Amino acid sequence: MLQPDVIAAAIRLPRAEEAWEPVLFGGMIPILGALAIFWLIRRAVKEPPRDPEQQRAEEFAAEQIRLAQRKECGPEDPPS
């Protein structure tokens, strides 16, 4: 037969185990907030992703400028 002290301890034990949850989640809130702030700052500061089509257009335009500059210099004029 179980003694009343053992039964009382078994009843109190789940209540004692539940007491850590508010402490854990209460401590996680500032950590999650700090992570969210760092994520927002990083997202605001980093360079936006490049559109591949726009990048190809920019490379094509740069190549056209290089070709135009070569034509202006001519093959007999060495660059100085």
pLDDT of residue 5: 78
Residue 79 within any structural domain of the chain: no
74: left (phi over 0), alpha (psi -120 to 50) or beta: left
Residue of 1, 22, 3 lying closest to 11 (CA atoms): 3
Q: Which residues of 18-34 are buried (b: 16+ CB within 10 A; e: fewer)?
A: eeeeeeeeeeeeeeeee
Residue 80 within any structural domain of the chain: no
Task: Report the number of distinct structural domains present in the chain.
Answer: 1
- This prediction has a pTM of 0.41
Tens of pLDDT, residue by residue, the chain (80 residues)? 667 777 776 666 555 556 677 777 788 889 999 999 999 999 999 887 778 888 899 999 999 998 888 877 655 555 55
Residue 78 within any structural domain of the chain: no
Residue 47 within any structural domain of the chain: yes
pLDDT of residue 36: 96
pLDDT of residue 19: 66
Q: Is the Cβ–Cβ distance between 64 and 70 less than 8 Å?
A: no
Residue 58 within any structural domain of the chain: yes
Domain that residue 68 falls in: 4-73
d(C-alpha 9, C-alpha 18), whole Å: 14
